[in-house]
Structure 1
């Protein structure tokens, strides 16, 4: 039996996927309400294909509990935030999860850490946790790092098809874990050492963060000299060895906006490009806010009450608001003056900010200017409704005259 610890955006889909492919699974989370909701037959967030996967897993016998199970394999998928001052990883959630597992684990149990960690985290924090509890590594307990590689909005597909990396001290143990993931993973699974596995996951997200920062910086250069950044990127990407990403209103989520800081925190003198790239991305919401003010002045819009931000999530067609550029923009505005910008997102049903709407038509009726912060399918399908509005399109999704861009 596999006990999956942490039933959030990564742990829950992983548990469901394992169960639906014949693995005996118990999902554990300390959140009583979350476990109660799952046991009542409801998922806890929106994700394409998740409800169907949930029903398959229920039929296969998955159960959910707040208790850690006595078994021989654990998959830990809990948050790994970073300290915003030192930029170093906060491994406390992983450490607490491992400590709880050790209280019930059977001899020879394998503890798989799926949470993204900085290189050396297993060595600095997790190994000492096991040893301090009186266990011998390699016989009483085996440690493995198998970082997730999925993105909200396409989790179910990517769990099935993405390649994976298994980091282990012992190749035999690595292959044992590989066999578990092979129950559903159709991609290539590479077995390597733990520190390599830690580094590859962080490097993947850092590469994307640096590429996004380059695109955002290009957008600022082109805005300064009245050039079309999207046309320039399109032409450049015709080169067979160039793949520039698109600029946007900022970077959110719990991967690209967080993981590169692990490297900056651990290697401050060696990460100049990464450090500056992260600063560029972090200041992009401020840049968008300044664009809003410029466009308001140009169109004689006097009151921020007549401006609406479309989108609260960090990416399209999900309900995940972690590190959302919209929330960053609102926080930035609050530092200078009370924010009266209106906000709407079709995926967020609860009130999370001031002046939030829950109906697109009502939202549009009360604004003169719309800022498209998130490219949800909904807005693409309702472009006729924003005709006559002043539009700042932060994603270049609207092919209409007089539309502003970042």
Structure 2
């Protein structure tokens, strides 16, 4: 059975680009989101998030009649679930959004449909989704009940895209597809091959779930090595940026660049899903998370040292102006999710009695979490002219091109002004 109509549940940073990609392949796409503002914005042919080339793709899809958004699921041939998987308790995966999405689409399922979970999930989440669907629709059979003869096929296919390059990487990158049965995998491959030019690599659902978590845990461990190295070098009076450049001249060494921590919806979150599944065994993965989670506190200590030095030079704390450069979790995007830079700015605003100037060229309004009377969103020239202390947290391109005044005390967590 071919896939003429595709429904994407969750129209965020992954769901909306995926919906646009299917629409560009001339599939009829129904995007579903509980956010009425997002739905209305998309139906006008506009976007509610920032991602290069996405605005053009969505406008073309909507005006061409291939994409429309709704707050309620409607019948389709394939359903993709791309909703968040946050934490609850002590870094325990919260599958409430996945469960809600499954129960919302269950009433419109029919024989021959395919359901694909794209949300980053702990191992076993696809099976739990299939159980929720089966409980909601006892009139249909699912892979855990009927195997290859199931009325509805279920698979897992994680995204692996880079914010800022999502539209290109959705098409070019390989996809790992894990069906609950070989038939489920086969049908999911058929669906994705409508727009994916990379290879669709088949495995089972549990391995596909673990693959996504493994990719991000690998990166987290390597970033933790760089961040720990930067702390050691600071203690020993060594320029870590010079050290990394020298060490990386070894043909089999590739140390990553240190930073203020790790953010985003993947690397800062996914390793905890592995730790939750195997707490006694995931010792290195847990330690890497703790190292990276502890880096913002180290940055705050460096800021406190700069404040104390300024006070020793005769300036009162309330008269000091501190500028933080960057709030996003990585360069050249507007995404603030799990951002260590934002956390540092929030902490600084709560501790510092003077003005805090926030410089983030990709947003026009400060997030609610940074809504403090002493915090002002300003442009680059204003911050560099008025600040006494500059804290570089994100290596946005405009920051790299900036020459900082000589009087500024600088805490550079990215090595671009060092």
1:322 to 333, 337, 344: 337
SS of the aligned residue for 2:102 comes to: helix
Is the Cα–Cα contact under 8 Å of residues 153 and 316 in structure 1 kept in the other structure? no
Corresponding residue number in structure 2 for 1:131: 134
Corresponding residue number in structure 2 for 1:36: 40
TM-score, L = length of structure 1: 0.92
- What are the ranges of 5 or more consecutive residues in structure 1 without an aligned counterpart? none
Corresponding residue number in structure 2 for 1:70: 75
Alignment of structure 1 residues 235-250 onto 2, 5 Å: 235-250=246-261
TM-score, L = length of structure 2: 0.90
2:30 to 4, 26, 29: 26
**How far apart, in 2, do the equivalents of 1:236 and 1:359 lie?**
36
Q: Which moved more, 1:96-105 or 1:359-368?
A: 359-368
Is the Cα–Cα contact under 8 Å of residues 357 and 363 in structure 1 kept in the other structure? no
SS of the aligned residue for 1:152 comes to: coil
Corresponding residue number in structure 1 for 2:308: 297
Corresponding residue number in structure 1 for 2:59: 55
Shift of 1:334: 6.3
SS of the aligned residue for 1:165 comes to: strand
**How far apart, in 2, do the equivalents of 1:38 and 1:358 lie?**
30
SS of the aligned residue for 1:283 comes to: helix
Corresponding residue number in structure 1 for 2:146: none
1:9 to 9, 13, 23: 13
**How far apart, in 1, do the equivalents of 2:218 and 2:256 lie?**
11
Structure 2 vs 1, CA of residues 276 and 335 (structure 1 numbering), >3 Å: closer, same or farther?
Answer: farther
Corresponding residue number in structure 2 for 1:344: 359
Structure 2 vs 1, CA of residues 359 and 233 (structure 1 numbering), >3 Å: closer, same or farther?
Answer: closer
Q: CA RMSD in A?
A: 1.9
1:199 to 184, 192, 210: 210
Alignment of structure 1 residues 5-404 onto 2, 5 Å: 5-61=9-65, 62-83=67-88, 85-123=89-127, 125-133=128-136, 134=138, 135-138=140-143, 139-299=150-310, 300=313, 302-303=316-317, 305-333=320-348, 340-352=355-367, 353=370, 354=372, 355-381=375-401, 383-384=402-403, 386-398=405-417, 403=418
**How far apart, in 1, do the equivalents of 2:79 and 2:353 lie?**
47
Shift of 1:131: 2.5
Q: Which moved more, 1:295-304 or 1:94-103?
A: 295-304
SS of the aligned residue for 2:176 comes to: strand
Q: How many residues align?
A: 396
Could you report, residue by residue, the CA deviation over 1:272-305 in whole angstroms, capped at 9, with x for unpaired residues? 1111110110111111111112233334454364
Could you report, residue by residue, the CA deviation over 1:325-349 in whole angstroms, capped at 9, with x for unpaired residues? 1222234446766685321211111
Shift of 1:66: 1.1
